[in-house]
A and B are shown apart, each in its own frame.
Chain A
Amino acid sequence: MNAEFKLFNISKRYGQREVLNIDNLEIGGGRIYCILGPNGAGKTTLFRIMSLLTLNDTGKIHVLGEEVTWQKNQVVRLRRKMAMVTQTSFMFEGSVYYNVAYGLRVRNTPAAEERKTVNESLELLGMMDFINQPARNLSGGERQKVAIARALAVKPRVLFLDEPTSNIDPASALDIERYIQYINKEMGTTIIMVTHNLFQARRLSEEIFFMWEGKIIEKGESEELFEHAQDKRTRSFIKGEIVF
């Protein structure tokens, strides 16, 4: 496996509380990963550290074969190979077009190519009708779709999706799962996503991580983990005995 991320002894505290503690993690290689776990388990924090949005307190992280030194140019260069749909799908003030074009503009993409890529991305998510709408006026689900289109537009090598279908109706969510699989297969994009939907995790992922109080308590091939979870917290979660 050609892991895009290697984490060694990564930890993060907020005040007195340690919210993340991961001793060893390799992740990447064009697969689809799902991260499961209750609220506050540290999933978003892990995403933020891997996408270089938050500094880890201890440990080392390698991204795409480079040790992260937090030198300004390196951070931007590495960030430009990834994209993230954040949990809130924040939209900039402005049209849907402006939002989807943003990642292309910061890369100085020529105007014609920009337009073409924005159209393609919105087309893929079925959001073409909204192209000139003010993005802030969209509904939660529509915003998530635009956020996904916006992330896809930059053709990332790694795509982080933080609960990307939490506000999306089941039919559209299935569509989105299909796009996720499509870009994973067609472009070889590594997908790392957080979801609270067990069925979605099972349908999509090749590998699953289960997080609990800042730690990865179980990881493994998707089917294997669903059938033979080792940790009893994971087992009861999978059986539906605990509902988050």
Chain B
Amino acid sequence: MDVIWQGIKEGFLLIIAMDPELVQITLLSIQVSVSALLLAAIMGIPLGTVLALKEFPGRKTLLNITYTFMGLPPVLAGLLVFLFLSTSGPLGYFQLMFTPTAMITAQVLLGFPIVCGLTARAVMAQPQEVFDTAATLGATRRQASWVIIRESRMGIIAALTTALGRLIAEVGAVMMVGGNIKGETRVLTTSIVLETRMGNDSSALAIGMVLLLIAFLIMLLILSLEKRTFKDERRIQIV
């Protein structure tokens, strides 16, 4: 119990003191995961929409592969990126191992199937009437697709939230391809592992608190976004 109290106390002190090393680690965590999320979104939202709306051979298979990869273990994502980027790998020439770029790449691999799969689900859940209404009002296919995406935006925001939560909290991939190098590739989750290994349980717990705080702030951001977007949304009332 002592360790826990010590950790909480230390955590507060660290946060209040804005310890420079902790700030740097925190910012890198956010930078890596948010960059990965943005890249995953740029590819995943359009691709998920196409998988949901366009009829082509292999569509079902691609969807199933996407759903499977939604559960990709982070270490496996790390391993795949490692095989490509390590000096003997096909992209070894670029010397990207143990850089934030490698970490972002691995996290894109984790985030992309989540964004893509959940976007496809959200779009497929839309009724035929969305297209019909847009078409009878004169929309082109492209315009109608836009309105379908617009109608799916609650589900797409949920997809982004889920993916970001996964990325900011994962340790396997960033550890594997980042290497937890102090000042370069150390992020919050890898610091926790390190501190625990070195026996600094309360420090580990303190960093964990920072991680929770970030999760909380992200949730606040998304909630305020949702409030703006869904201020008119009718909720199911159970009386």
Point out residues on A near B: beta carbons under 8 Å: 48, 51-53, 72, 76, 79-80, 82-84, 86, 88, 90, 92-95, 102-103, 106-107, 134, 136-137, 150-151, 154, 160
Closest residue of B by beta carbon distance from A136: B234
Contact of A90 among B129, B139, B150 (CB under 8 A): B129
Contact of B129 among A72, A82, A86, A154 (CB under 8 A): A86
| Contact assessment for A103 and B129 in the assembled complex, using a CB-CB cutoff below 8 Å | no
| Contact assessment for B136 and A53 in the assembled complex, using a CB-CB cutoff below 8 Å | yes
Chain B 162-186 residues near chain A, CB threshold 8 A: none
Asked if A76 meets B140 with Cβ closer than 8 Å, knowing A92-B130, A136-B234, A137-B232, the reply is: yes
- Chain B residue numbers with a CB within 8 Å of A53 are 132, 135-136
Asked if A102 meets B134 with Cβ closer than 8 Å, knowing A72-B141, A76-B140, A88-B129, the reply is: yes
Docked Cα-Cα span, A163 to B135, in Å, equals: 19
- B64 located at the interface, meaning its Cβ lies under 8 Å from any Cβ of chain A in the complex: no
| Contact assessment for B137 and A154 in the assembled complex, using a CB-CB cutoff below 8 Å | yes
Docked Cα-Cα span, A107 to B136, in Å, equals: 12
Asked if A92 meets B136 with Cβ closer than 8 Å, knowing A72-B141, A134-B232, A137-B234, the reply is: no
Contact of A92 among B133, B135, B138, B143 (CB under 8 A): B133
Closest residue of A by beta carbon distance from B141: A72
- Chain B residue numbers with a CB within 8 Å of A84 are 136
- B127 located at the interface, meaning its Cβ lies under 8 Å from any Cβ of chain A in the complex: yes
Closest 8 A/B residue pairs (Cβ): A134-B232, A103-B137, A90-B129, A84-B136, A80-B138, A106-B139, A90-B133, A106-B143
Closest residue of B by beta carbon distance from A85: B136
Q: Give, as a whole number of angstroms, the nearest-CB distance from B125 to chain A.
A: 13
- Chain B residue numbers with a CB within 8 Å of A94 are 232
How many residues of chain B have a CB within 8 Å of chain A? 19
Q: Tally of A-B residue pairs with Cβ under 8 A?
A: 66
Asked if A106 meets B133 with Cβ closer than 8 Å, knowing A93-B151, A134-B232, the reply is: no
- B43 located at the interface, meaning its Cβ lies under 8 Å from any Cβ of chain A in the complex: no
Docked Cα-Cα span, A160 to B132, in Å, equals: 13
Q: Give, as a whole number of angstroms, the nearest-CB distance from A137 to chain B.
A: 6
Asked if A106 meets B140 with Cβ closer than 8 Å, knowing A90-B127, A92-B151, A137-B234, the reply is: yes
Closest residue of A by beta carbon distance from B140: A76
Docked Cα-Cα span, A172 to B132, in Å, equals: 26
Docked Cα-Cα span, A215 to B138, in Å, equals: 29
Q: Give, as a whole number of angstroms, the nearest-CB distance from B91 to chain A.
A: 40
Q: Give, as a whole number of angstroms, the nearest-CB distance from B133 to chain A.
A: 5
- B50 located at the interface, meaning its Cβ lies under 8 Å from any Cβ of chain A in the complex: no
- Chain A residue numbers with a CB within 8 Å of B234 are 134, 136-137
- Chain A residue numbers with a CB within 8 Å of B130 are 90, 92
Contact of A51 among B136, B139, B151, B232 (CB under 8 A): B136
Chain B 39-98 residues near chain A, CB threshold 8 A: none
- Chain A residue numbers with a CB within 8 Å of B135 are 52-53, 79
